[in-house]
């Protein structure tokens, strides 16, 4: 045994030995592959290639530019062929950058994988390692994805925009009040944002409480970032704003206002429509309105009015009130039950598609509670949670 060299000894022990392979790729080729692997990971997560456009988050847009440039890079086709199982490189490039005007260094910079002249031989530069700042930015932005049920939230955004234009709502610089609760609206990076869900409380690394949010954006996307991440993003955004709740003001008072009616009725209707969605949820779908006259007169032509789903209606509840401000009352119900507004399209008498906006998927007992809270003034602290089908108090 003592006369055996290392190879003979390994062979005698039955150990197969294969020498380590030395990569034959150049640093440039390694960077190209690393850049393409980021795109592949995006494709595996989202099931599609990254896209351009303001509707997409910053990371997707960067990957889209990178993919366009890789498609134009002659050596990429052969270098990445074995990795390109999703056939991403065969697509049509849509970037506005003219690759023919770029030298190799500029092209690699467009790809996000260039190393530039000052860092090429600098051993103090970390490559392919994100800084702590970049990691925090990624967490604060989170992965925005398409909101599959955006049609449920779109009426809310439309309503808020109308209320901002009419000064029913106002925008405040984020910072003085940093609370974030279910039902809150914000402006982040110039875009309307809505807190649709607040998860269970969790402990942050610093010991403080946090929660995972479902945030819906007006462009039809959503994200599940942490509450403290949203707070930081709003605080650092110079245009970040909190959108106030509707200014309900005095609903009832001694002095009449221009929109006041001396004696009014809040009425709740149930539709007799044969529309499949209405039929399935008939006991929960209600229209809430305000009138200064008789409710029966108001609904006399319901069967021919698209507002009433072109069907007769049943009066299921009425509430008599005095010195009632109709505009403010309607704003309250739209704010309160906006998340539960139904999305039904019907055709009017002329065949034109109509989307009635004043019907809500809300149990009658919740509407009863809302009216009682309007009477005692506590409604301003409440929001409706469609998931639990109940009014919940906002977190201040």
Task: Return the pLDDT at 133.
Answer: 45
Burial class (CB in 10 A: 0-12, 13-18, 19+), 190: exposed
Model confidence at 372: pLDDT above 70? yes
Same domain, yes or no: 82 and 191:
no
> Per-residue pLDDT tens for 176-228?
677 888 888 999 988 899 998 888 888 776 677 888 899 999 999 999 888 88
Give the mean pLDDT of 330-336: 79
> Per-residue pLDDT tens for 260-310?
444 578 899 999 999 898 999 999 999 998 877 788 888 888 888 888 888
Model confidence at 313: pLDDT above 90? yes
Residue 274 resides in a domain: yes
Residue 194 resides in a domain: yes
User: Can you give the pTM of this predicted structure?
Assistant: 0.39
Task: Return the pLDDT at 127.
Answer: 43
Give the residue, 319 or 15, on which the prediction is more confident.
319
Closest CA to 221 of 148, 141, 156, 147: 147
The rounded percent of the chain whose pLDDT value lies above 90 is 11
> Per-residue pLDDT tens for 116-168?
444 444 433 444 444 444 444 444 445 688 898 898 888 889 888 888 887 77
Task: Return the pLDDT at 249.
Answer: 45
The torsion angle over the Cα atoms of residues 187, 190, 192 and 197, rounded to 10 degrees, is -60
Q: What's the pLDDT band for 92 if we cut at 50, 70, 90?
A: low
Length of the chain: 396
- The domain of 385 spans 260-393
Q: Number of structural domains, the chain?
A: 3
Task: Return the pLDDT at 17.
Answer: 52
Q: For residue 221, which phi and psi values (nearest 5 degrees)?
A: -110, 170
Torsional sign, CA 89, 93, 97, 98: positive
Measured CA distances, 100 to 69, 93, 107, 141 (Å): 11, 13, 9, 34
Residue 9 resides in a domain: no
Same domain, yes or no: 290 and 351:
yes
| Nearest-5° Cα angle at 31, 26 to 36 | 130
Which residue is listed with tokens 């403010």? 328
Give the residue, 347 or 384, on which the prediction is more confident.
384
Task: Return the pLDDT at 97.
Answer: 47
DSSP string, 128-162: S---HHHHHHHHHH---EE-TTGGGTHHHHHHHHH
The tokens describing 357, both together, are: 């906006």
Average pLDDT value for the chain: 76
Q: What's the pLDDT band for 325 if we cut at 50, 70, 90?
A: low
186 within 8 A of 241, measured Cβ to Cβ: yes
Residue 371 resides in a domain: yes
Same domain, yes or no: 114 and 210:
no
Same domain, yes or no: 225 and 307:
no
Residue 373 resides in a domain: yes
């Amino acid at each position: 045994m003592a006369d055996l060299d290392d190879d003979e000894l390994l062979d005698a022990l039955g150990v197969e030995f294969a020498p380590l392979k030395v990569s034959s790729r150049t640093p440039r080729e390694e960077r190209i592959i690393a850049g393409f692997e980021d795109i592949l990971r995006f494709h595996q997560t989202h099931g599609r290639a990254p896209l351009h456009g303001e509707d997409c988050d910053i990371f997707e847009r960067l990957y889209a530019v990178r993919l366009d440039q890789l498609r134009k890079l002659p050596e990429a086709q052969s270098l990445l062929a074995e990795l390109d199982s999703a056939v991403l490189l065969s697509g049509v490039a849509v970037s506005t950058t003219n690759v023919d005007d770029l030298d190799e260094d500029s092209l690699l910079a467009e790809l996000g994988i260039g190393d530039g002249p000052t860092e090429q031989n600098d051993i103090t530069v970390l490559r392919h390692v994100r800084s702590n700042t970049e990691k925090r930015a990624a967490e604060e932005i989170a992965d925005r994805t398409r909101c599959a049920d955006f049609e449920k939230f779109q009426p809310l955004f439309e309503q808020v925009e109308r209320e901002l234009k009419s000064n029913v709502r106002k925008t405040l610089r984020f910072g003085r009040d940093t609370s974030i609760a279910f039902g809150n609206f914000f402006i982040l990076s110039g875009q309307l944002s809505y807190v649709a869900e607040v998860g269970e409380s969790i402990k942050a690394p610093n010991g403080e409480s946090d929660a995972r949010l479902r945030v819906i954006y007006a462009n039809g996307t959503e994200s599940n970032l942490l509450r403290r991440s949203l707070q930081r993003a709003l605080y650092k955004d110079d245009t970040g704003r909190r959108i106030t709740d509707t200014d309900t003001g005095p609903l009832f008072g001694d002095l009449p206002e221009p929109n006041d009616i001396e004696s009014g009725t809040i009425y709740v209707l149930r539709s007799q429509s044969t529309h499949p969605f209405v039929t399935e949820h008939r006991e929960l779908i209600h229209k809430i309105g305000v009138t200064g006259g008789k409710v029966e007169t108001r609904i006399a032509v319901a069967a021919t009015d698209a507002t009433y789903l072109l069907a007769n209606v049943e009066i299921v509840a009425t509430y008599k009130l005095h010195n009632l401000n109709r505009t403010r009352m309607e704003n309250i119900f739209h704010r309160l039950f906006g998340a539960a507004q139904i999305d039904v399209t019907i055709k009017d008498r002329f065949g034109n598609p109509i989307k009635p906006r004043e019907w809500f998927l809300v149990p009658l007992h919740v509407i009863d509670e809302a009216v009682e809270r309007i009477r005692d003034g506590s409604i301003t602290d409440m929001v409706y949670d469609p998931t639990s089908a109940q009014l919940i108090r906002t977190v201040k």
